[in-house]
Structure 1
Amino acid sequence: MKKIFIFFMAVTMLSACKKALDVDNLLAYDPEQIWNDPLLADAYLTNIYPSAFGNHNVSADRNSDQLSGIAFPQDAVTITNGGLGNWNYNPIRLVNQALLDIPKGTLPDATKNRILGEAYFLRAYFYFGMVRTYGGVPYIKIPQDRFTDELNVPRNSTKECFDFMYEDLDKAISLLPKRNLPASSSWGKIDGNFALAFKGRMSLYKASPQFNPNNPWDNTYWADAYTVNKKAYDDLKAQGYQLVADYANTSLTERNTEVVFSVINQFPDKTASWDNGIRPLSFSRGNVAAAPTLEFVKAFPMLDGKLYSDPTSPYFVSEADFLKSYWKNRDPRFNKSIVWNAKVYPVSGTITGYRQYTALGIANALDNNGINPNSPERSTNNNVHTGFFILKNSDLTLTQANVLQYGIDYVLMRYAEVMLNYAEAANETNHPTEALDILKQIRIRAGIEAGTSGNYGITATTRTQIRQAIMDERNIELCFEGFRFNDLRRWRMFSLLDNKGKTGLEAIAIEPNGTEMSLSKARPLGQSNQLLEENFKYVPLSVPQTGNKLNILPEKYYFAPIQQSISANASKLQQNKDWGGSFDPTLQ
């Protein structure tokens, strides 16, 4: 049993009578009780973790081009409807209370420093979420009253906020233990490595086009981003962090050498809904939350690391022929991330050789998609299903009956991200060799062929080309982990989403001569798993069908407006300039 749950059980027993851990109710907050007791002090901070780090969430990438879902219809973001909002002053209040009271307690110095380090990290982490969303916000450093938060103050500039976040992270790094080992009882708590790596992530935002639209790639912040990210890469590497051998196991093998920080799950104490949201409905107990798009399927390279449309690749396929064999000779990460029509799908409870079909009239009605007029049934899944499902991080040992028991830890940061952060900063600071070396390491682990040049399909040589190669590699390597939308935002690349729909792929069974197979013949063949991928033709299909919807992401969406419900009671809280105010959220 994972140690953290033993810890929570102990805390519950200790605090049952006095409700000392009802920390959100500051009227009942008793610092003398909490900050004189190491167990209760730990619990106070640990209880804030869920609001900071969340858990597995397939919907996080619905905002991007990776998964189905029109997240931004017309006027999805306004000053009244919330939209991209992320106003996190409630947990910040609790963190500030801890920072005020911890030094007054009688905890051992080592414990006191560690918990202070966690608190400083959490404050920077919460503020980063808001600064990434709004630009500068009031950087409150003292605990506010539970019922009368005094936020009627001017916003700190975005630069000031970054300075304060750096200051908090530097304090955290100096106070935290450098590394919480996987076998220790401290695993799952913030350590110095996570704080350093997160500072590296934050530094990319500070240097990014989102915050520097007038000088996106040559501003002085890139030098700092390089220094921080190189240190994170070197320090973690020296401690034994490395890519796991098999990409499929980056999360499924818990506490591996690639995990920098993870949220601990364990059935029955704490579970996630990942498998229940990604699986075909016939193998889950809830509707599919989102499914991979054809656009994203096309983004995966071939086995040699080049795109299918690259005529220099031995795996080159013309656009006209791509859909006839899209599953063949792909980057091995494709096979480990995506379920497609007629793919062998060894989920627990199925027979050996079971194939997952999506074709209308052949697949289980819960799993199909399409508009085949020859089918007597009509799919009810066309607004979400795409002809693909997510395989990455799926626990195939779970049957449909126990799919809600998903207890795999949620990896919030892994070494592959640290590497790619370093590569990005290196490329923008005239260190292309270092950037290309990182890309090669990522592709070697992926299983990409070295090729005669030994470059693993990487042809980029210029700064601009290497930048694009890094962007493309992040899209594949970190897929379905919640990065894509925020990456597009910090790169100011909403043009890839704006006025764009999303596409799926309908499968229709065919005879060897290419004519459509009758469903009366195809259905029993599918039921006995005899239809292979090449026994179908594939037709692009708009997703969702209803209304032919498009994502609408204008320039002003790079920073969200402060909601009217917040600003109405805070006259000094300036609105962002693109939303009717005067505040500039950038670093210009």
Structure 2
Amino acid sequence: MNKFKKIFASTVIAGLVVASCNDDFVNTSPLDQVSETAVWTDAALAEAFVTEIYGGLQMGGFSEEMQASLTDETSFTHPGRGITTITEARSNPADIGWGQGTSATGNNRSFSWGNLYVRIRACNLALANLASPKFDNTSKIADRLKGEALFMRAYFYHQLVRVYGGVPLVNRPYALGEADYLAPRNTMQECIDFITKDCDEAATLLAGRSMASGRASQAAALALKARILTYAASDLYDVNTAKAKSLVMGAFSKPEVLAVSSGSRTERWTKAKAAAKAVLDLSGYGYALNLSAPVSAAEGTQNYMNISLSRNGGEKEMLFGRYFINAKQEDGGRQGLFNGPNGYHNWAGNAPIQHFVDDYEMMDGTKFSWSNPDQKSNPYVNRDPRFYASILYDGAPWKPRTADVASKDPANQIQTGQYELGNGSGTKTAYFGLDTRKSTVEDWNGSYTGYYMRKFIDPSPAIVDQNTWQQVPWPHLRFTEAVLNYVEACIELGEDAEARTWLNKIRFRSGMPAITESGDALRQRYRNERRIELAFEEHRYFDARRWMIAPSTLGRKANIITILGTLKPGKTVSLYKYDRDNYNYEYIVNELDPGKENRTWLDKMYFLPIHRDEMNRNKNLVQNPGY
């Protein structure tokens, strides 16, 4: 035995002797855990417990595979990840698809039944133990924590409800040894009532409190209530309307699980309107909504950037967000990498599709049309100013290229087309843009659609590639959503003048002219306005379903743009840059290769299936229709 082994053996033996002589050894508390009793008798530990509940929010909507790619906003560039399982209507109880934890980064559990119920249990534990605080509550710490737990429980339940329909409502922490843990699904009405009650109680407990960024607040609770009541009044959540518009919904034996049958829709829209107005009446929120005329196009773009980046006053829009700091490098700070152009060494993950680009109006408020020769020949001119803050298109100015690419593009313009180089009167060669899938920078990460996402990406030149992070928060709830919910309720109640007043506040901030329509025409303008204003914010997936327009929107084949730049006669170009003096540009719209993604719609997709493992665990569950 060498010297080291002798020392080690002696140390172990000595330790065993000491342990055998010390009866307290077996009663030593673990150093990496805190007992439940200790947590709820210490205000700081109780605070830590409630803070951890927010972990259920993960990265907000900033996963590598964004929910936008389940919709007619974007298409996911890379294979797999459960995206096409949903967009091609292949979801089933064994393979639900996106949102079940299938993300390459492991963060994408937005739709996970199990993950959401784990967090609901944590909320229930907090509420049970905070009912009679065992620590000094003179500063009402327990009341605030209760308010936060109630809000988070409401938030997690609202996620379950809008994905699966009515779910089992559990309002207490189950204990070991109970006779039965098998709860049936509650009705949609019971779920709506439960969520709104939690929101009301949370709003009362959090009223007047100054909350840190990223924590629940009175405003967040009221906004969540307004959202769920807006859903409850919508087509999909009304039994008669849902049955009339969908054979699958009409054939379901338990319609009360998915839709509301009691009361009138007028009553429901009235409640939704009142809930949204309660948010609008709060002071200190909202950004640039006091205008009586449109701002300039440049101001409109800047206003929208301020909101999406949550800075320069735009942070007043945020009612509840997921925040990120450089000190803790999380995937939520890598949106530039996930979605930026491959010519900047980024991954092009969620690429806008042509259907979405086409829905941005012209500056005068008219629809864009490929049948208009001027618009067809120059489609990125005079569009809604929010377009320029949301989409990177061919020729768009962007950040300085990285050092290894800078010499290829000193103009710093997005290149998503195929262009000619050489002499316009002689020999020509084909050149593929730096941000295409035939790029000389990275040919595997390029967009298939011809576009890249700009919204939510910090424009700072210092944040360029995968080695840099950003601090842009994700908006779970923002003030303008509440405004739009109010507008929608007013339209459905026939209060068109009030709806236009508030809708035009949003448009004036964006530099767009007033809407003047009434009736169904106003409804359609509103829906497009909501689509543009809330782009990529995880609304379109649910809006298209609750309005029951998914067959004609989400069910469309994704389309793309092909751009060809040909040299004008006599022009010589050896290093490409976007320049209409040198080039004629042609824009051709095609469908995305069905081998990449072949979108379709089946009515079963109005609600996702409950996973078979959950069905096997709980015999009292009823599966959703179509599965």
Tell me the TM-score range normalised by the shorter chain: 0.7 to 0.9
The verdict on how the C-alpha distance between 1:322 and 1:403 changes in structure 2, with shifts beyond 3 A counting, is farther
For 2:591, the equivalent position in structure 1 comes to: 542
Check if 1:393 corresponds to 2:472.
no
How far residue 436 of structure 1 moved from its aligned partner, in angstroms, is 0.5
C-alpha distance in 2, partners of 1:578/1:133? 15
2:575 pairs with 1:525: yes
Q: Structure 1 residue 469: deviation in Å?
A: 1.3
Could you tell me which of 406, 410, 413 is aligned with 1:355? 413
Aligned to 2:121: 93
Q: Deviations over 1:140-189 (max 9, x none)?
A: 111135899964222111111111111111111111144536xxxx2321
Instruction: Go from structure 1 to structure 2 and tell me whether the alpha carbon gap of 1:542 and 1:101 turns closer, same or farther (over 3 Å shift).
Output: same
Q: 1:49 aligns with which of 44, 48, 54?
A: 54
Residue 87 of structure 2 corresponds to residue 80 of structure 1: no
* Cα shift readout 1:63-89 (whole Å, capped 9, x = no counterpart): 111112463354521121123653121
**CA 532–307 in structure 1, closer or farther in 2 if over 3 Å, else same:** farther
Residues 280-291 of structure 1: pairs in structure 2 closer than 5 A:
280-285=341-346, 287-291=347-351
Q: Which residue type is aligned with residue 278 of structure 1? A: N
Distance change in 2, residues 1:439/1:105 (3 Å): same
1:562 and 2:610 matched? yes
Quick one: distance in 2 between partners of 1:577 and 1:335? 41
CA contact (8 A) 2:230 2:269 kept: yes
Opposite residue 251 of structure 1, the aligned amino acid is S
Cα distance in 2 for partners of 1:53, 1:376 equals 36
Report the TM-score, using the length of structure 2 for normalisation: 0.76
- Which residue is 2:295 aligned to? none
- Residue pair 1:497, 1:552 contacting (<8 A) in 2 also: no
Deviation at 1:492, TM superposition (A): 1.2
Structure 1 unaligned segments of length 5 or more: list them.
1-15, 21-28, 310-316, 451-455, 580-588
Aligned match of 1:303? 363
CA contact (8 A) 1:67 1:290 kept: yes
1:143 to 168, 173, 180: 173
Alignment pair present for 1:489 and 2:545:
yes
Matched, 1:268 2:268: no
- Give the secondary structure class of the aligned counterpart of 2:595: helix
**Distance apart, 1:562 and its partner CA:** 1.5
* Cα distance between partner residues in 2 of 1:197 and 1:466: 24
1:542 and 1:548 in contact (8 A); partners too: no
Contact 2:337 2:466 in 1 (8 A): no
What secondary structure is seen at the aligned counterpart in 1 of 2:70?
A: coil
Quote the offset at 1:121 in angstroms: 0.9
1:167-206 to structure 2, matched below 5 A, reads 167-178=197-208, 180=210, 186-206=212-232
* Aligned counterpart, 2:478: 414
**Could you tell me which of 91, 108, 123 is aligned with 2:137?**
108
1:434 and 1:459, CA in 2 relative to 1: closer, same or farther beyond 3 A? closer
CA gap 1:300/1:401 in 2 versus in 1, 3 angstroms? closer
CA distance in 2, matches of 1:506, 1:418: 38
Q: 1:253, CA displacement in angstroms?
A: 3.7
Among 233, 237, 240, the residue aligned to 2:280: 233
Q: 2:240 aligned with 1:214, yes or no?
A: yes
Residues 1:460 and 2:517 aligned together? yes
Q: How far off is 1:479 after superposition?
A: 0.7
Q: Which amino acid aligns with 2:308?
A: S
Relative to structure 1, the CA distance from residue 196 to residue 537 in structure 2 (aligned partners, 3 Å threshold; closer, same or farther) is same
Contact 2:87–2:554 (8 Å) recurs in 1: no
* % identical equivalent positions: 27
> What's the CA shift for 1:459?
3.7
Are the counterparts in 2 of residues 68 and 293 from structure 1 also a CA contact under 8 Å? yes
1:336 correspondence with 2:386: no
> Residues 243-297 of structure 1: CA distance to partner in whole angstroms, max 9, x if unpaired?
4871111032447222212212110314322111111023244x21111111111
Q: Deviation digits for residues 375-410 of structure 1, max 9, x if unmatched?
A: 99996567x421111111211223435654122222
- Give distance in 2, aligned partners of 1:120 and 1:61: 28
Structure 1 residue identity aligned to 2:455: K
Residues 66 and 73 of structure 1: CA distance in aligned 2, closer, same or farther (over 3 Å): closer
| 2:378 corresponds to 1:325 | yes
Q: Is the 8 A contact 2:401 2:412 kept in 1?
A: no
Q: Which runs of 5+ in 2 are unaligned?
A: 1-28, 77-82, 99-110, 243-263, 290-298, 419-429
Counterpart in the other structure of 1:36? 41
Greater Cα shift, 189-198 or 399-408: 399-408
Q: Does 1:247 align with 2:304?
A: yes
Is the contact between residue 487 and residue 498 of structure 2 (CA under 8 Å) also seen in structure 1? yes
User: Partner of 2:190: helix, strand, or coil?
Assistant: helix
Q: CA deviation at 1:40?
A: 2.0
Amino acid at match of 1:119: A
Q: Distance in 2 between matches of 1:436 and 1:77?
A: 39
Deviations 1:434-488 (A, max 9, x none): 110111111101012x4xxxxx2x24211x2222111100111111222111111
CA distance in 2, matches of 1:534, 1:145: 72
Q: Give the equivalent residue in structure 2 for 1:434.
A: 498
Cα 1:106–1:498 change in 2 (3 A) is closer
State the alpha-carbon separation in 2 of the partners of residues 548 and 82 from structure 1: 19
1:279 counterpart = 2:340:
yes
Equivalent in the alignment of 2:103: none
Contact kept in structure 1, 2:342 and 2:441, CA below 8 Å: no
- Cα distance change on mapping 1:39 and 1:508 into 2, 3 Å: same
1:98-121 CA-to-partner distances (Å, cap 9, x unmatched) read 111122421415110000001111
Larger Rg computed on CA atoms? 2
Give aligned pairs, total. Answer: 520
Instruction: Tell me the C-alpha RMSD between the 2 structures.
Output: 3.1
Mapped to 1, the partners of 2:433 and 2:136 lie a distance apart of 59
Instruction: Go from structure 1 to structure 2 and tell me whether the alpha carbon gap of 1:564 and 1:219 turns closer, same or farther (over 3 Å shift).
Output: farther
Structure 1 residues 48-57 or 343-352, which shifts more? Answer: 343-352
SS at match of 2:600: coil
Instruction: Tell me how far apart the structure 2 counterparts of residues 499 and 149 of structure 1 sit (CA, whole Å).
Output: 46
Q: Report the Cα distance in structure 2 between the residues aligned to 1:362 and 1:213, rounded to whole angstroms.
A: 56
Structure 1's 559 and 179: CA in aligned 2 closer, same or farther, altered over 3 A?
same
